[in-house]
Structure 1
Amino acid sequence: MLKEFKNFIMTGNVIDLSVAVLLAGAMGMVVNGFVTDIMMPIVGHFSGGIDFADMKIVLSEAIVGADGEVTKPENAIMYGKWVNAIINLVIVGFVLFVIVKAYNKTKTPPAPKEDAPKGPTTEELLMQIRDELKKK
Structure 2
Amino acid sequence: MKLFKEFKDFAVKGNMMDMAIGIIIGAAFNKVIDVLVKQVMLPPLSLLSGNMDIQDMRIVLKNAIVAEDGTVTKEEVAIGYGALIEAAVDFFIIGFTIFVVVKFMNRLIKKAEDTKDKTVTTPKNIELLSKLSDLMEEQNELLKSKV
Does the pair score TM above 0.5? Answer: yes
In 1, the alpha carbon distance for the partners of 2:19 and 2:104 equals: 23
Give the TM-score, by structure 2 length: 0.64
Q: How many residues align?
A: 122
- For residue 18 of structure 2, the aligned residue among 16, 23, 29 is 16
Higher relative contact order (CA 8 A, sep 6+): 1
Q: Is the contact between residue 58 and residue 74 of structure 1 (CA under 8 Å) also seen in structure 2? A: yes
Residues 44 and 34 of structure 1: CA distance in aligned 2, closer, same or farther (over 3 Å): same
Name the residue aligned to 2:122.
none
Does 2:104 match 1:111?
Answer: no
Quote the residue 2:77 is aligned against. Answer: 75
* Higher Cα Rg, which structure: 1
1:54 to 35, 53, 56: 56
More helix by share: 2
- Structure 1 residue matching 2:73: 3-state secondary structure: strand
Stretch moving more, 21-30 or 83-92: 83-92
TM-score if structure 1 supplies the norm length?
Answer: 0.68
Contact 1:35 1:92 in 2 (8 A): no
Residues 94-135 of structure 1: per-residue CA shift (max 9 Å, x gap): 2333333344455543133464224344xx67xx4xxxxxxx
Q: What RMSD in Å do the two structures reach over aligned CA positions?
A: 2.9
Q: Identify unmatched segments of 5+ residues in structure 1.
A: 129-136
